[in-house]
Amino acid sequence: MKQIEKPWGYEIWWAVTEKYVGKLIHVNKGHALSLQYHNVKHESMYAISGEAMLSINGEDRHFGPGDAVDIAPLTQHRLTAITDFELVEVSTPELEDVVRLEDHYGRQGTSNP
């Protein structure tokens, strides 16, 4: 396992294999991930604790404990924490496949982990 600090919180990578990646993601209250999409990467998210807004292709919805969502490639999405928020994410292994469209922290373009 390794913890990756982010400007919005942190990620704990609990599994990195050739077939999938598992992360626990913590987003601090009031912070948001990039508005982004992936060309190939497929993500599944399961909310553990806290409250957030999840934007998928421009439509906002509440995302809270017990909620789950699959994010297919080319789907624009962003998560914004209303309270401190934690989720489990399992994705395909393309960690660098992040195309940022908008970012509150000045990060641009394609991401590195």
pLDDT digits (tens, 9 = 90+) for 50-106: 999 999 999 999 999 999 999 999 999 999 999 999 999 999 999 999 999 999 998
> What pLDDT score was predicted for residue 29?
98
Domain of residue 45, residue span: 2-94
Has residue 61 been placed in a domain?
A: yes
Has residue 35 been placed in a domain?
A: yes
Write the CB contacts of 72 (distance below 8 Å, at least 6 apart in sequence). 42
The confidence band for 112, taking pLDDT boundaries of 50, 70 and 90, is very low
Shortest CA distance to 30 belongs to which of 82, 72, 78? 82
Has residue 83 been placed in a domain?
A: yes
> What pLDDT score was predicted for residue 106?
87
Has residue 107 been placed in a domain?
A: no
Q: Which string of DSSP letters, residue by residue, matches 6-25?
A: ETTEEEEEEEE-SS-EEEEE
How many domains are there within the chain? Answer: 1
Domain containing 50 — which CATH number? 2.60.120.10
pLDDT digits (tens, 9 = 90+) for 16-52: 999 999 999 999 999 999 999 999 999 999 999 999 9
Has residue 32 been placed in a domain?
A: yes
What predicted TM-score, i.e. pTM, was given to this entire model? 0.92
Query: How many CB atoms sit inside 10 A of residue 79's CB?
Result: 25
Has residue 53 been placed in a domain?
A: yes
> What pLDDT score was predicted for residue 111?
55
> What pLDDT score was predicted for residue 60?
98
